[in-house]
């Protein structure tokens, strides 16, 4: 087994174990569909919210915290510019359907979650968040679209 293969295999295994996963079809260079916000540590009101329509036409094959995959848009749904300051950062979704959450953090690391805390709503928590750009996608487990899906951004 080549050193390159072992290194690539180890990196992919570590990413899967940590809930991090590559998302090849989603493009964080595109303009977010529902806008963006700049928040500094200690922001009020907390949580900050944004209503979006979950889902999309691109299948994310899964990995990390989303083993079954789901349906997402190509462009981010929402973009957060965040200045960290000693608080954990939590991004979660509340929706009237089964949603998934995909986030690309400032270090270009992908995180995915489906069904947090025994609910159909996803959540990703950054215990030591970095300052910078977080691109956020809200997807669906099946190919449906879910209106009135709310993204929550909180330091509590």
Model pTM? Answer: 0.83
| Domain ranges, ordered by start, for the chain | 3-154
Digit-coded pLDDT (tens) for 90-143: 999 999 988 999 999 999 999 999 989 888 899 999 999 999 999 999 999 888
Report residue 41's pLDDT band, with 50, 70 and 90 as the boundaries.
very high
Digit-coded pLDDT (tens) for 59-99: 888 766 788 788 999 999 999 999 999 999 999 999 998 89
Q: Which CATH number fits domain 3-154: 2.40.50.140, 3.40.640.10, 2.60.120.380, 3.40.50.10260?
A: 2.60.120.380
Instruction: Give residue 65's pLDDT.
Output: 78
- The dihedrals phi and psi of 54, each to the nearest 5 degrees, come to -80, 155
Torsion-angle region of 63 (φ positive above 0: left; ψ -120 to 50: alpha; else: beta): left
């Amino acid at each position: 087994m080549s050193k390159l293969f072992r290194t690539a295999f180890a990196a992919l295994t570590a990413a899967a174990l940590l809930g991090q996963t590559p998302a090849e079809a989603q493009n964080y260079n595109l303009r977010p569909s529902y806008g963006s916000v700049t928040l500094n540590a200690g922001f009020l009101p907390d949580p900050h919210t944004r209503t979006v329509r979950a889902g999309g036409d691109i299948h994310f094959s899964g990995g990390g915290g989303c083993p079954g995959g789901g349906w997402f848009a190509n462009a981010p749904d929402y973009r957060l510019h965040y200045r960290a300051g000693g608080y954990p950062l939590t991004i979660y979704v509340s929706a009237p359907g089964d949603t998934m959450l995909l986030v690309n953090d400032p270090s270009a690391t992908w995180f995915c979650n489906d069904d947090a805390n025994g609910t159909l709503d996803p959540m990703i928590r950054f215990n030591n968040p970095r300052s910078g750009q977080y691109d956020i996608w809200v997807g669906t487990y099946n190919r449906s679209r879910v209106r009135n899906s709310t993204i929550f951004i909180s330091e509590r």
